[in-house]
Structure 1
Amino acid sequence: MDFLDAFWHVLNLFAPALGVGLIAAAAAKLLWRKELAKASYLRLVLWSFVAGAAVLLAGLVVLGQDGRMLTYGAMVLACASALWWAGFGRAR
């Protein structure tokens, strides 16, 4: 495997976390417009992406391969928890 193949593999490993982070942060900003007015969209996306990426890496280590439904379910829960923490949980 050359550098370009390795680059695309790593990028595709983290793509679900980025996609869920972008969509979930946008949905949260739309649903809780007043409550999340002071929280920036980028901050919500970053918190959600980091949580999702950590779960994807943990799923890869624990289960031995990526793309398992258990990992994706845990990623969605981690992204939701991170969004709650970034938007509502800690002092803004």
Structure 2
Amino acid sequence: MSYWQLLVHLFNFVLPALVMAVCMPWAGRWVMGVRGPDTGRRMAVHAVSGVLVLAAGLWLQGQDGKMCTYIALVLVAATAEWVMHRGWARK
């Protein structure tokens, strides 16, 4: 595998986490309101947690791209957004 192919493969591995990191702050703003940390910080939290979920899925299952890993990615992103918006304190 060449360096270019390795770079493309790694980019495609983290791409779902990066897309979720961009979309979740805006979805959270739409659902939970404008409270919470700024958008850049929320994107960074989602990107890091998403890559960690994908890496854990690869490590536990031995291959990437399984649907249960993507389900875990969505659940972790939604939970992180809820925590950053302090959803438990909503009235």
TM-score scaled by length of structure 2: 0.85
Give me the whole-angstrom Cα distance separating, in 2, the residues matched to 1:34 and 1:62.
36
Give 1:33 shift: 2.7
Q: Which residue does 1:74 correspond to in 2? A: 72
Unmatched tracts of structure 2, length 5 or more: none
Sequence identity percentage: 33
RMSD over aligned Cα atoms = 1.5
Unmatched tracts of structure 1, length 5 or more: none
Give me the whole-angstrom Cα distance separating, in 1, the residues matched to 2:84 and 2:10.
26
CA contact (8 A) 1:14 1:53 kept: yes
Give me the whole-angstrom Cα distance separating, in 2, the residues matched to 1:86 and 1:8.
32
Matches within 5 A, 1:1-92: 1-36=1-36, 39-88=37-86
Give 1:16 shift: 0.2
Report the more deviating stretch, 78-87 or 44-53. Answer: 78-87
Give me the whole-angstrom Cα distance separating, in 2, the residues matched to 1:83 and 1:31.
10
TM-score scaled by length of structure 1: 0.84
Give me the whole-angstrom Cα distance separating, in 2, the residues matched to 1:50 and 1:75.
11
Aligned residues: 87
